[in-house]
């Protein structure tokens, strides 16, 4: 007798949700290479601004600004989406990237909450609905 999987209901959860001062925070374990890059980014902050980053300082900051200011993430994301299109990433994935602000892969979807994964899948379905409605196939 075989048991069939019920879709994502058995997906392994690789994150924890923590309450920090009344705010729900998602905590994930990161790869050592990413941890190294984040340490290097903190060093770039120290070199640029001459001090330790504070709790409200951006991790990814505008390198041309005199004071810590967040990197223009919208412009960076638009550039990333354009490059993704140039290298052959499918249009529905690019649409979902822009719609959700996420890049979801087989390797990282395990870190998404069910609501985040639903948002991603809904964006892909929305793309297909728009294509069907436009008559372009």
Q: Are 83 and 94 in contact (CB under 8 A)?
A: no
Burial class (CB in 10 A: 0-12, 13-18, 19+), 120: buried
Give the Cα-Cα-Cα angle 107, 108, 109 (nearest 5 degrees). 105
**What is the tens place of the pLDDT at every residue in 60-110?**
899 889 999 998 878 888 888 889 889 999 999 999 998 998 989 888 888
| Section 26-42 average pLDDT | 87
Q: Does residue 57 carry a pLDDT above 70?
A: yes
**How high is the mean pLDDT of the chain?**
86
| Section 107-134 average pLDDT | 93
Percentage, residues of the chain above pLDDT 70: 90
Q: Residue 3's pLDDT is what?
A: 40
63: helix, strand or coil: coil
- Could you state, in order of their start, the residue ranges of all structural domains in the chain? 10-70, 72-137
Q: Which pLDDT band, with edges at 50, 70 and 90, does 11 fall under?
A: low
Percentage, residues of the chain above pLDDT 90: 45
**What is the tens place of the pLDDT at every residue in 38-54?**
999 999 999 999 999 99
Q: Residue 56's pLDDT is what?
A: 92
């Amino acid at each position: 007798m075989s048991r069939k999987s019920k879709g994502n209901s058995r997906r392994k959860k690789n994150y924890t949700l923590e309450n920090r001062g009344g705010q729900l925070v998602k905590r994930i374990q990161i790869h050592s290479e990413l941890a190294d890059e984040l340490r290097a980014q903190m060093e770039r902050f120290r070199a640029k601004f001459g001090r330790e980053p504070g709790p409200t300082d951006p991790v990814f900051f505008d390198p041309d600004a005199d004071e810590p200011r967040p990197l223009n993430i919208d412009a960076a994301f638009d550039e990333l989406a354009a490059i993704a299109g140039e290298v052959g990433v499918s249009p529905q994935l690019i649409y979902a990237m822009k719609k959700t602000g996420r890049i979801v892969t087989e390797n990282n979807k395990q870190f998404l909450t069910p609501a985040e994964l639903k948002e991603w899948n809904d964006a892909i379905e929305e793309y297909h609905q728009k294509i069907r409605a436009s008559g372009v196939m």
